[in-house]
Structure 1
């Protein structure tokens, strides 16, 4: 595993713990398709929550939250569409949203959870 991959895995684990502490239930991790990837899929009440985890240690380029631009959003939407198609009718009828968990480091002190960060 590369250092970057190890940092990514640690960031996703930290984000999952943070979300679980706030009442979400993680039901999927690192789900990949050729045209997109979902870091975390969670349930929050009746809703499905597709979560993008971003780690940026340097805010010179806008920080972690700013790194989820239109191109990344489109890839996340396509990945969510794949997920919903694979899960079947019951899942497709649930409300869904996209959240972003932005981390400024791996110490857990600076976590920004942006609920409903963008729409379909």
Structure 2
């Protein structure tokens, strides 16, 4: 199965809803979507992984690349990861130490953005 990426706004966040497989084939599509969002001025990006079926090391690399790109520009990345199976992959990679794994897009909207702290 291929990856699907849908973009929408949940101010102040830009949301990329990702479904299917985030793997060697799908990771470049995520990279392109992130580059496009950042080029259009998005600094707060949420990746909604609610519809994600599979993620491998290439997908993890694309997520880390997105985090790095956003933080270099004064922004941040949030992950919506309600699936225990997918969440576990991010926890095994210790990514839960550098970004918050949310259960829903609503919890992202309610969360305090680190860049807003003085």
Calculate the TM-score normalised by the size of structure 1.
0.33
Please identify which structure carries the higher strand content.
1
